[in-house]
Amino acid sequence: MFSGREPDNQFHQIGYNVRRTLTLSIPVTLSRAGTVAFITVDTVMVGQTGSEELAFYGLAFAPHMPLFVISLGLLSGVPVLIAQADGAGRFARCGPIWRTGLILATVLGLITGIMTLFGQSFFTAIGQSAHLSAGGARVLEMFGYGMPGLLIFITTSFMLETIGRERFVTLVTFLANFLNFGLNWLLIEGNLGAPAMGAAGAALGTSITRWAMAAALLLFAFNLPEVGKYALRPGRGDPAGARFTDLLRIGVPYSLAIGSETLAFSTVAMFAGLMGETSLAGYQAAMNVNALIFMVGLGLMVAASVRVGNAVGRGDRIGLALAGWTGMGLVLFCMLVISILLNLDLEWVAGLYTDDAAVMAVAASALSIIALYILIDGAQAVMLGALRGAGDVLFPTLFHFTSFWIVAVPLAWFLGLHQEMGVKGLFLGMSAGLMTAAILLSLRFHLVSRREIRAFVDR
């Protein structure tokens, strides 16, 4: 079982840190990749129906992701506080923190779900065509129905991964992909008498699957052998909402940080939409490949955050530094290997998503840039996770705003639209923003790892 209570003589050994980071990151990577696989399956199956439906899906996904990621950021205090409590041996605090997170997740899910009902007005206001706006709005609405279930699932997976029960999260995610595939088969083209909903059917299938995943994790969590140790059931441990302020103290700045990044990517997706359906469809295919690869970085990001949080909980400054830099080294190595493999045949990868030659050309061109920037994307993600584990949230927020809104978005607009470099120019602009973020976050973690430990769990 993964836990912060590890033998003291091993904390500062490189080999030990590598093994422990991988022990946590691999299941997390698989489970997160499983959730992205929903979108991959959706994108591929929708793409086979034509570029128009793929464009609808891509347009809807652009605002869906910021709504999700901003909510995810607000919930990010859950694994940080649980990791620090676990590292300090205060196990009975873990359950109340998780249950407070569930309340927050439900509220956020309802709010974001309601916001998706206004998609057509939003798309029209930002200059999308009437046809794209109507089709994208229907898909976005279908995504909205699953937002509460998705956030409940994520919050519970945070808790289970942090206390060492990440394998069940991976299993649930793996099995859920079969459900999602079956629902897509029914709803996209209307098999077995089901309505033929196109891209909207894919989004509805994903929403139903997300609710099923949330139910499975909740059932598992409330029946864990350690349910008493961690005070997981209602009425145990601290009163409900006891750590709500600390959750927001961590979550609000982190939400602004990753929200600014995701909003930047969504804005760039809107730029692609202004270039036409072909460019938007190619952009969506390339971004899906990028998202799937990024799950390796996300797994190592979560591992770095948990291990840094454990080190903070036990007051171990050297262990904190080793946890963060070990994650950095591992993500750079993994992304380099993936980059080499991706470059072997970019056209083949693009062809998995569509048989439209024009869309394939756009996607392959974008993938040539993605094959390079996944290294810096992984690096900035791990450093952001390490700083989150240390409870350092203000400077990462400022760094992300600067990197993506002062550097990335303006440069993407200039290269993609003004210089007419198309989707490839959009990705070049985003690469510059990612590089800026990676450098700034790395310098900040260097400073944080050298200062006195500051833990939320002692409050």
Average pLDDT over every residue of 320-332:
93
Residue 202 domain flag: yes
Q: Grade residue 454 by pLDDT with cuts at 50, 70 and 90.
A: low
Average pLDDT over every residue of 47-52:
79
Average pLDDT over every residue of 227-247:
73
Q: Is the pLDDT of residue 459 over 60?
A: no
Q: Is the pLDDT of residue 4 over 50?
A: no
Instruction: Quote the pLDDT of residue 268.
Output: 87
Which residue has 């990612």 as its token pair?
A: 434
Residue 456 domain flag: no
Residue 453 domain flag: no
Instruction: Quote the pLDDT of residue 1.
Output: 35
Q: Could you say which DSSP state residue 390 is in?
A: T
Residue 264 domain flag: yes
Q: Is the pLDDT of residue 207 over 90?
A: yes
Residue 54 domain flag: yes
Residue 113 domain flag: yes
Average pLDDT over every residue of 306-321:
85
- The predicted-structure confidence for 145-188, as pLDDT tens digits, reads as follows 999 999 999 999 989 988 878 889 889 988 999 999 999 999 99
Which residue has 């510059």 as its token pair?
A: 432
In total, how many domains does the chain have?
1
Average predicted confidence (pLDDT) for the chain: 86
Q: Is the pLDDT of residue 2 over 50?
A: no
Instruction: Quote the pLDDT of residue 236.
Output: 63
Contact residues for 220 (Cβ-Cβ < 8 A; gap 6+): 160, 165, 168, 172
Q: Grade residue 9 by pLDDT with cuts at 50, 70 and 90.
A: low
Average pLDDT over every residue of 74-90:
83
Q: Is the pLDDT of residue 68 over 70?
A: yes
Out of 195-199, 353-357, 444-448, least confident range: 353-357
134-146 CB burial, b ≥16 within 10 A, e <16 = ebbbbbbbbbbbb
Average pLDDT over every residue of 189-212:
92
Whether the predicted model's global pTM rises above the 0.85 cut: no
Tally of CA atoms within 13 A in the half-sphere of 447 that contains its CB: 8
- The predicted-structure confidence for 122-149, as pLDDT tens digits, reads as follows 888 888 888 889 999 999 999 999 999 9
Q: Is the pLDDT of residue 6 over 50?
A: no
Whether 169 and 161 have beta carbons less than 8 Å apart is answered as yes
Average pLDDT over every residue of 353-360:
82
Task: For residue 345, give its domain range.
Answer: 8-448
Residue 1 domain flag: no
Instruction: Quote the pLDDT of residue 172.
Output: 93
Which residue has 């869309």 as its token pair?
A: 359
Q: Is the pLDDT of residue 189 over 50?
A: yes
Out of 102-116, 283-297, 362-376, 408-422, least confident range: 283-297
